[in-house]
Structure 1
């Protein structure tokens, strides 16, 4: 991503990135020393390490903060003989990082007000570990959700992805010589580059008219009694005529990978079936949410991750049977028993997300009816806020909430749920079968957004 020139009062993005990665290495090393992360997790880079690492860095930065209002202490640096400021504040923060700073600043007083034992429990919750205290305050989970939400957005930046492997390796090397017999090497590999777009954008194919859905108002249809496959079920079929994405998918762009068939069959491997089911719903997400297409023009990488998150949410709520099977493209059903063992956690999480989304919608509707009966204004529902976080980020949602004087649950349930969806999206897109196709899919999305 090219670096934008800002007024002299703003620090450069490069300086902020360098400072962050400097602290990230020490944060991962400290987490390893405190046994919050072990060498096996760091070496395998499995689970949600892409989220945990940056979130821990934000947590340790909050502990070091000594200013009011909160500012991020930065390491000294000198370029062209000019010393850089020692703190990152609202006055000198580059615009792309303002939303991150807003959420982090709100968390600092809360973190510093905790007892040392509760602060340690917070670090454990950030690492998806159980707190040591059985009476941990719900607010700890809310703080962890906010820090992990910012970490998710950081992990979606290419500048982070390209440098994270060296950060992890630095933590692995701590305490031993890098070339010693017991030295471990991280297996973290950044995802494909997402800045390439086709030279000629694909032309939209004729399609039936579809009602436009407001991106900030949830689609409040009850789940069908019998789950149906994603609307773009013919995503890989030459007969598909739903969206520019589905039209382009039947061309060589999607069939250029020899390992990925251009048309799914009943014998298609489970991982490819799950992948194409999600990508079919991704086309639906772009069709339903014009704001996603606009986002493609100003931040293509973020638009890709947001689209995948909406696809995950769509499949979880509309294509999962009561017993946890997925009804996907070509009407095929994949049961949990038929799913390869290493993919079952993803299937189970899809079903769990769908169940939580339906419960949240029912609660939102009940709250709205109760307020309407009492003649009170109906605030943004939690699902509304989840949609906003998935698309624009937790900093945007928090800023809008502050401006409107809105309220949120102590434990940050909307943020935590959005994190859950985003974490599954990141986890699935790290799988090899997804990495093989992400470049092609992103080229198609780039063409649609141009």
Structure 2
């Protein structure tokens, strides 16, 4: 076994090592036809999540230590090999290491064909084996959850294009007609206060995992207004906000969705005191956690059975009124609401069964989802629950959290959301002060 250093490694060294492995992982994925050159060059879909998740998967296959550690590239030929472990891992990366390490035994115990199926599931491809071992869904959910958090780091986004280009250049002749160029561009840097780095979102700007592009094309006049004539809504849903809205009768649908979600942020902070505490110690995470809570709230309480969203001032926006570019967001919002209701019903049934046996009721799946939205998949209590066997093999709570975060990241990358983030962040910061 190679030697490890007892001193803590620098974040920069870990980042350099990760991107070195990411380049080779993307290249291997291209060779194995898990990702094709068109996907790598366009960086469409959720490649910013898939790429890091594949990197974690390949690292698990290479792991030879117990407890699991990551062999790091040598900084020079004459240096001793180093392994990333709990003893030398920088504190910000320990949650990532903890979750990854928990998946290593499960990944290595899979049959080779099922390991390949896991890689396909990570990439959003259909598995080749049927039936698929239930554990694969849970492993994929854990790896993608860590990847979501990695993809939010600005240091990752600034280097992702070069990682993609390295994979594209592999096996091709420079300057040939078949050569492709990575088109990925990091999202705009969000910094609400140049004088204060504490409230900067520099380390966690949102990527767009699988939905619309960063800038939506202009909407046609028939899709501009979510408002109906008349003073109220016939949907039966309450108004989402008692305060005036910036929406006009001709506001685009994306602004309607944005204002509906932002109107629920204050409600989320009021219901979740822990979010207010999070604002003080980690403002960027608190912002995105608040948006995720707002998505969960709107999806659960403001989506009608036919998929319309009842938003600010009680006005509905139907799927038919929504421009085609935004319909995937609307459809996913409705699907999240349906899954949330099913999860809460299952939680209630489970709680009644515990009560009938006079047993202590453990935290519900929805409780775990909310904790992960706030603290990330590696939060310590969640890991203990997993080790105690209180989470499902399929990782349903983690997968559902990923689904909410993916929609949150996709929405907040859109220009209409970026235009209002500064104002909203200042309001949130004031609430948390």
Task: Report the equivalent of 1:29.
Answer: 27
Correspondence 1:17-96 to 2 at 5 A: 17-78=15-76, 83=79, 85-96=81-92
Q: Does the CA contact (< 8 Å) of 1:47 and 1:427 recur in 2? A: no
Between the aligned partners of 2:68 and 2:6, the Cα distance in structure 1 is 22
Q: Does the CA contact (< 8 Å) of 1:309 and 1:421 recur in 2? A: yes
Q: Any stretches of 5+ residues in structure 2 without a counterpart?
A: 197-234
Matched, 1:386 2:357: no
Give how far 1:359 is off.
Answer: 0.6
Q: For 2:238, which of 228, 231, 251 is the aligned residue? A: 228
Q: Number of residue pairs matched?
A: 390
Q: For 1:367, which of 315, 328, 350 is the aligned residue? A: 350
Correspondence 1:258-407 to 2 at 5 A: 263-396=246-379, 397-401=381-385, 405=388, 407=390
Give how far 1:177 is off.
Answer: 4.1
Q: For 1:106, which of 102, 126, 139 is the aligned residue? A: 102
Task: Report the equivalent of 1:424.
Answer: 407
Between the aligned partners of 1:90 and 1:58, the Cα distance in structure 2 is 16
Task: Report the equivalent of 1:222.
Answer: none
Between the aligned partners of 2:184 and 2:190, the Cα distance in structure 1 is 18
Give how far 1:117 is off.
Answer: 0.6
Q: For 1:176, which of 172, 176, 194 is the aligned residue? A: 172
Q: Does the CA contact (< 8 Å) of 2:53 and 2:144 recur in 1? A: yes
Give how far 1:441 is off.
Answer: 3.3
Between the aligned partners of 1:381 and 1:186, the Cα distance in structure 2 is 43
SS at 1:40's partner residue? helix
Between the aligned partners of 1:424 and 1:54, the Cα distance in structure 2 is 18
CA spacing shift, 1:130–1:102, aligned 2, 3 Å: same
SS at 2:334's partner residue? helix
CA spacing shift, 1:402–1:344, aligned 2, 3 Å: closer
Q: Does the CA contact (< 8 Å) of 2:309 and 2:316 recur in 1? A: yes
Give how far 1:370 is off.
Answer: 1.2
Q: Does the CA contact (< 8 Å) of 2:6 and 2:87 recur in 1? A: no
Q: Any stretches of 5+ residues in structure 1 without a counterpart?
A: 1-6, 201-224, 238-262
Give deviations 1:229-286, integer Å, cap 9, x for gaps: 43x353x64xxxxxxxxxxxxxxxxxxxxxxxxx102321111111221122223222
Between the aligned partners of 1:17 and 1:349, the Cα distance in structure 2 is 33
Give how far 1:315 is off.
Answer: 0.9
Question: Normalised by the size of structure 1, how large is the TM-score?
Answer: 0.81
CA spacing shift, 1:158–1:190, aligned 2, 3 Å: same
Task: Report the equivalent of 1:408.
Answer: 391
Q: For 1:436, which of 402, 419, 424 is the aligned residue? A: 419
Using the TM superposition, name which of 439-448 and 41-50 deviates more: 439-448
Task: Report the equivalent of 1:135.
Answer: 131
Give how far 1:409 is off.
Answer: 0.7
Give how far 1:60 is off.
Answer: 0.4
CA RMSD of aligned residues (A): 2.3
Give how far 1:294 is off.
Answer: 2.1
Between the aligned partners of 1:449 and 1:13, the Cα distance in structure 2 is 29
Matched, 1:163 2:173: no
Q: Does the CA contact (< 8 Å) of 1:157 and 1:301 recur in 2? A: no
Q: Does the CA contact (< 8 Å) of 1:198 and 1:444 recur in 2? A: no
